Amino acid sequence: MSGQTEGVKKRSRGKAAARPTTALTFKSEEEREKILARIEQVRLAQRAEGSFDCFGTAAQGYCDQGGCLYHAECMSVSALAALPFP
């Protein structure tokens, strides 16, 4: 084993694995509740107009409803809605 590889192993022993970080996080439970309320508000509007009530469900970053009035907001909200809340 090379000295460089051995040094890396020594430094990593006994340390907890780092949790992956994302740019999207919730600052509080209140912020999460506001986002969930907005999702429900838009879904109600979508149902009322006879559209798919899919707002906030594009967790994989894809939506085929490009003509939707809420498309841009939906894409950002979907990414947040998919995050686990610690």
In a domain, 86, yes or no: yes
Q: 10-residue block means of pLDDT along the chain (86 residues)?
A: 46 46 61 89 95 89 89 89 70
Please report the pLDDT score of residue 50 as a whole number.
92
In a domain, 2, yes or no: no
- Residue 14 Cα distances to 7, 35, 53, angstroms: 14, 39, 48
In a domain, 53, yes or no: yes
Structural domain that includes position 67: 24-86
In a domain, 19, yes or no: no
Please report the pLDDT score of residue 22 as a whole number.
44
In a domain, 56, yes or no: yes
In a domain, 12, yes or no: no
What's the domain count of the chain?
1
- Cut 0.75: pTM above it: no
Give the C-alpha separation, 70 to 56, whole Å: 10
Provide the 3-class DSSP secondary structure of residue 56. Answer: coil
Please report the pLDDT score of residue 23 as a whole number.
47
Q: At what angle do helices 29-48 and 71-81 cross, to 10 degrees?
A: 140
In a domain, 15, yes or no: no
Burial per residue of 1-22, b for 16 or more beta-carbon CB atoms within 10 angstroms, e otherwise: eeeeeeeeeeeeeeeeeeeeee
In a domain, 70, yes or no: yes
